[in-house]
Amino acid sequence: MTEKIGLAPGSAIYTGKIEVADSLIQTITYNKVKMNVNKNQSYEELETTYKNIAQENVYWTQIEPISNQTQVAKISSIFELHSLVVEDILSVAHRPITEEYDDHIFIIIKYADYINGSLSFSQISFILKDNILISFADYSPDKFKNIQKRLEKKDARIRNESSQYLLATILDYIVDNYFVVLESIGEEIEDLEDEIINNPTKNSIEHVHKLKRTLMELKKTIWPTRELLNVLIHSDEIESKYHIYFKDVYEHIINIVDITEGYRDTISSFLDIYLSTLSNRMNEIMKTLSIISTIFIPLSFLTGYFGMNFKYQTILESQSAFNYSNIIMILIPVGLLLYFKMRKWF
């Protein structure tokens, strides 16, 4: 974001890390009867499509990636988007929001990925304008092929509904993926718990702190997403019959928040488990050392006593005394071990 410091509001500056590449434009046009997919549209073809929109059709235009800021700004001019909207589209670190303008609704949401213990987010922006839905993605999951497959079915409900229902469907798909992420994190937490109980190491604590940071990042993204959906639920621009679908997605977010908070509480308790496990292990070690020391104390006394060089210790001159001393030194540790066992000291 530092590259935007000092620039005028509305400056179209891409703040992501994806290498600059031309945006691929795809427009899906559908109604109850037919569906058409125009892949790799040019700027001119997109402009022609937009100028010849038929009211009976729903149009879904996907632009990805958005790393070419000049091209994105040019595409946005076709749809007459405000310069501040374009700025937010290109600011990939922007928090999830919903903003209502005079002729469209602007939405930013995050798509989450959890791969090899690393959490990442991709920003996806939506413009809802009459019967048009436009999506700008830094990265999207296979360009929402699952949604496209549903559109290909003639008897699918989505074919009979407006672009607002399409938006609700896509948001539901993005939010449901958070459950997949949480499932992966949950499995990692279970494995970590077993590791801390059975064989805690320094790496275990580092893993705990890493998971805490991951859950914090997840929470920072989920909370504003809840507000995003709350705005859509109460928006006058959304038909009342579609409010229930956005409300359903909102309830999913609440569930995700609860699961995340539960995981954070579990992770926080791991430090206590770790310290308790180490303390128990240290106690076992000290118990073992104490038993060994206790066993050798009388043996040390015997060897010390009979090792004194006095002429009056004539008992040591006989063979039988040597044998008896060995028997005594064997019986003492055996007897002590039996005594410790009876007292349940180990």
Residues 313 and 267 in one domain: no
The pLDDT of residue 7 is 60
Residues 215 and 263 in one domain: yes
Residues 7 and 133 in one domain: yes
Residue 299 resides in a domain: no
Residues 335 and 220 in one domain: no
The pLDDT of residue 162 is 93
Q: Dihedral through CA 143, CA 148, CA 150, CA 156, nearest 10?
A: 140
Write phi, then psi, for 340 (nearest 5 degrees).
Answer: -60, -35
The pTM of the full predicted model, rounded to 2 decimals, is 0.78
Q: Of 227, 255, 275, which residue is a domain's last? A: 275
Q: Give yes or no for a contact between 96 and 221, defined as CB atoms under 8 angstroms apart.
A: yes
The pLDDT of residue 85 is 92
Residue 337, domain extent: 308-346
Residues 332 and 235 in one domain: no
CATH number (domain holding residue 250): 3.30.460.20
Distance CA 125, CA 107 (A): 6
Query: What SS3 string covers the chain?
Result: CHHHCCCCCCCCCCCCCCCCCCCEEEEEEECCCCEEEECCCCHHHHHHHHHCCCCCCEEEEEEECCCCHHHHHHHHHHCCCCHHHHHHHHCCCCCCEEEECCCCEEEEEEEEEEECCEEEEEEEEEEEECCEEEEEECCCHHHHHHHHHHHHCCCCHHHHCCHHHHHHHHHHHHHHHHHHHHHHHHHHHHHHHHHHHHCCCHHHHHHHHHHHHHHHHHHHHHHHHHHHHHHHHCCCCCCHHHHHHHHHHHHHHHHHHHHHHHHHHHHHHHHHHHHHHHHHHHHHHHHHHHHHHHHHHHHHHHHHHHCCCCCCCHHHHCHHHHHHHHHHHHHHHHHHHHHHHHCCCC
- CA distance to 268, 273, 275, 276, per residue, from 193 (Å): 11, 9, 13, 13
Q: Dihedral through CA 128, CA 132, CA 137, CA 141, nearest 10?
A: 110
The pLDDT of residue 86 is 92
| pLDDT by residue, tens only, the chain of 346 residues | 555 555 656 677 888 787 888 888 999 999 998 999 998 898 899 999 888 888 889 999 999 989 889 899 999 999 989 889 999 999 988 899 999 998 899 999 999 999 888 999 999 999 999 899 999 998 776 778 889 999 998 888 999 999 999 999 999 999 999 999 999 999 999 988 888 777 777 788 888 889 989 999 999 999 999 999 999 999 999 999 999 999 999 999 999 999 999 998 888 887 777 777 777 777 777 877 787 787 778 777 777 766 655 455 555 566 676 677 778 778 877 887 887 777 766 6
Residue 193 resides in a domain: yes
- CA distance to 194, 306, 322, 328, 332, per residue, from 319 (Å): 58, 14, 5, 15, 21
For the chain, how many structural domains are there in total?
2
Distance CA 285, CA 345 (A): 13
Residues 177 and 44 in one domain: yes
Q: How many residues does the chain have?
A: 346
Residue 296 resides in a domain: no
Q: Of 253, 275, 297, which residue is a domain's last? A: 275
Residue 282 resides in a domain: no
Residues 44 and 117 in one domain: yes
Residues 177 and 324 in one domain: no
